[in-house]
Structure 1
């Protein structure tokens, strides 16, 4: 125990180590604060959209009292807000939320155009991404581990102390293990403190999910310490050690994710979303020049729920207009299904690549926990589609059956409420990290056997 306390004093006496830990802690704290601000801002946007929506409903109530309300016009002009309500975990892990639109306003027109013609965020922010705690853990923590531990042996040899230290123990690896264990324990304590601060500063609460995150982060940290220890046991120069660690870090952080991204892009069809929008709009535009009676009859045959309605007259009829808007979604339905299937397949391919990188493994797990991945976006789009159908059923019941819209019917207007996808996130991530750690445990054991003096 006395020797470990001595190692602690030696480690903390190094000004470089102290400043590295302070900088790491400050970066993590800044990420938490910035992530909390982004989370609160998103919630405020959702609240503002809902307030604006309620004000619009009040205006339509006033028109109803004045006898000026027409359900057909309300369906066209009333925008209904839908939002992928952020999980509290997005405070720490933004994931893919900024890559797809999570706040929309829909009305009773062709849905696919409304979904695919929306920009997610300012394109400039996508270049650099969001600075969150996941970035600090995934990319900065391994570099901190390298700076604190990858040259413990090289530094002792260059200073001339190694021969003296080696004469005091039976095995040299005892010294290495002690020198690596101390910064590892300190870093683990710092990471636990960071999570504790996140609970204090944000809306996070003590839960089993928090325990799971703590376990995964500590395992991820241990994985990089095993990599560091393996490089140390190769017994090379300081420059070689740094180059070896950086090469492994680049391979896990950029090469494998880059290959995954290129492979996924290759499977995608460029311009698929734009093609859906174009085809849908083209159908709706052409419908003005076609026989509206024949088109409306075809719609009623496809959807017999609305067939018990009066024939169309010669004047413009909202029933025909909304029927054709709905049919414009029907004609692109196959393309939409192919796009969804393609996105799911692309995501699954990324999951397969994550088995070969601790960075991707933890990233996919944290994104799933925060409900901020491709699965969450597709779930959101599916719920928006269901909500759009509810709006159609609600307003069409007045238009198609000539039913009067009463003031009390405003209370029956469908509301959108996002429900997150409860898919598991812990088990697969834990297994991936343990398997990757097993590889480096084996490499460490092999290094011990190869060097007799260890």
Structure 2
């Protein structure tokens, strides 16, 4: 029997190791099931909203058949559903999807007031987070690795077997490495198994991203294994080893991310969304008391494509109303752009901090892959703006030339089609994990030399 097989047999003889791995596996399967259920619930909500939208369209078709259709009122009361369709990888990586609204209904009024005044999702989910596979890998996997390998040397010394083992094995450090390699291999097997289960149970496919996720997991696990190896070869007592590892784990898991979050918050202008909503509503409220003909002329001067239109009369006119709604978006455009730039800068600062924490590095990589980060939030709002402009152009082409709304126009109403732009955050995440692994590999190598000298 080879020495590795012997160590593997000893590992399985420990009942605690079996229970730890089994609990880890079961927790992973539960996390996959819970997240997939969440995604299915979202998709059901999207389908419900779409079905409700079609019912509204059918209602207006009936009004058209009865010659009772008023296009101006239809533009005001018809809500168009928009949704950030979940990416395949969001079935196991929730990311920041619950921190902002991923489903809205918009109409022909000022868009920014609708987008920025919307609910941000489940408040309880934001408070406690989501138990998904990334949570298991980011926070629990390091603890599992440490629980099974952090005291391999201290335990041998406490039992008095170390002098005998060193006498029988040419290099005692090889024995320690074998003892540490066995639990690391078992954890890796379970992680691969969880990834395969996720592929079977969800819409994830076996492609380059799949192998990219596997590479990130392997590098992340290697980083924590090297941290354990460095602590092991400090040659201290078991209590010191546990305290050292927990301290490092807390720094990488809470301290660095917490400092990054506080720094990002300080750099942001709090209340920007509320300011956008306030400015837009204030503009619309003031518009009712102004010279409507002068305001309409100013609108046409800014958007000359609608200029071939009849002058305003003394009665209420939908053209003026919708024109002012669009102008309310124009007056807050700078605030919206500043908010987007602030959020983008905040994301970039977080990326900079992630060089100091393997937890943040892997989290940013997972969130980008799942299209569930700040970039996805900004992109979703920009796609809503583009879609809202298409709706305006469609209805304006009827309102301003005073055309008759035809039955065929119902089928021409634009619909929202979300495009998932996941980009390429894989290599950046791999590079960060590789650099941090190299740092702890050098620390372990230096400590290993000192260990041999003693």
Deviations 1:405-436 (A, max 9, x none): 10001111101000011410211011001000
Q: CA deviation at 1:376?
A: 0.7
Distance, in Å, in 1 between the alignment partners of 2:286 and 2:441 is: 66
Deviations 1:249-289 (A, max 9, x none): 11111111111101100011111110110111011001001
Q: What is residue 252 of structure 2 aligned with on the other side?
A: 252
Unaligned 5+ segments in structure 2 are: none
Q: Which SS does the other structure have where 2:104 is aligned? A: strand
Q: What is residue 300 of structure 2 aligned with on the other side?
A: 300
Contact 2:368 2:425 in 1 (8 A): yes
Distance, in Å, in 2 between the alignment partners of 1:400 and 1:327 is: 16
Distance, in Å, in 1 between the alignment partners of 2:184 and 2:13 is: 16
Counterparts of residues 25-40 of structure 1 (less than 5 Å): 25-40=25-40
Distance, in Å, in 1 between the alignment partners of 2:408 and 2:122 is: 41
Contact 1:85 1:418 in 2 (8 A): yes
Contact 1:39 1:88 in 2 (8 A): no
Q: What is residue 151 of structure 2 aligned with on the other side?
A: 151
Q: What is residue 102 of structure 1 aligned with on the other side?
A: 102
Distance, in Å, in 2 between the alignment partners of 1:255 and 1:446 is: 26
Distance, in Å, in 2 between the alignment partners of 1:390 and 1:277 is: 22
Q: What is residue 160 of structure 2 aligned with on the other side?
A: 160
Q: What is residue 121 of structure 1 aligned with on the other side?
A: 121
Distance, in Å, in 1 between the alignment partners of 2:443 and 2:168 is: 26
Contact 1:153 1:176 in 2 (8 A): yes
Runs of 4+ in structure 1 off by over 3 angstroms are none
Q: CA deviation at 1:172?
A: 1.8
Q: CA deviation at 1:195?
A: 0.8
Distance, in Å, in 2 between the alignment partners of 1:43 and 1:369 is: 19
Deviations 1:92-131 (A, max 9, x none): 1000100111100000001001001111212122110111
Q: Which SS does the other structure have where 2:361 is aligned? A: helix
Distance, in Å, in 2 between the alignment partners of 1:162 and 1:453 is: 16
Q: What is residue 403 of structure 2 aligned with on the other side?
A: 403
Provide the TM-score with structure 1 as the length reference: 0.99
Counterparts of residues 276-315 of structure 1 (less than 5 Å): 276-315=276-315
Distance, in Å, in 1 between the alignment partners of 2:156 and 2:201 is: 41
Contact 2:370 2:422 in 1 (8 A): no
Q: CA deviation at 1:174?
A: 0.7
Contact 1:39 1:91 in 2 (8 A): yes
Contact 1:151 1:232 in 2 (8 A): yes
Unaligned 5+ segments in structure 1 are: none
Q: Which SS does the other structure have where 1:82 is aligned? A: strand
Q: What is residue 204 of structure 2 aligned with on the other side?
A: 204
Residue 416 (structure 2) pairs with residue 416 (structure 1): yes
Q: CA deviation at 1:152?
A: 0.6
Query: 42-51 or 74-83, which moves further after superposition?
Result: 42-51
Counting matched residue pairs gives: 454
Q: What is residue 132 of structure 1 aligned with on the other side?
A: 132
Contact 2:98 2:122 in 1 (8 A): no
Q: What is residue 439 of structure 1 aligned with on the other side?
A: 439
Counterparts of residues 2-13 of structure 1 (less than 5 Å): 2-13=2-13
Name the Cα RMSD after superposition.
0.9
Q: Which SS does the other structure have where 1:452 is aligned? A: helix
Counterparts of residues 66-105 of structure 1 (less than 5 Å): 66-105=66-105
Distance, in Å, in 1 between the alignment partners of 2:256 and 2:114 is: 35
Contact 1:36 1:92 in 2 (8 A): yes
Provide the TM-score with structure 2 as the length reference: 0.99
Q: Which SS does the other structure have where 2:81 is aligned? A: strand
Residue 169 (structure 2) pairs with residue 169 (structure 1): yes
Q: What is residue 363 of structure 2 aligned with on the other side?
A: 363
Distance, in Å, in 2 between the alignment partners of 1:405 and 1:356 is: 60
Q: Which SS does the other structure have where 2:452 is aligned? A: coil
Distance, in Å, in 2 between the alignment partners of 1:45 and 1:87 is: 16
Q: CA deviation at 1:71?
A: 1.2
Q: CA deviation at 1:182?
A: 0.5
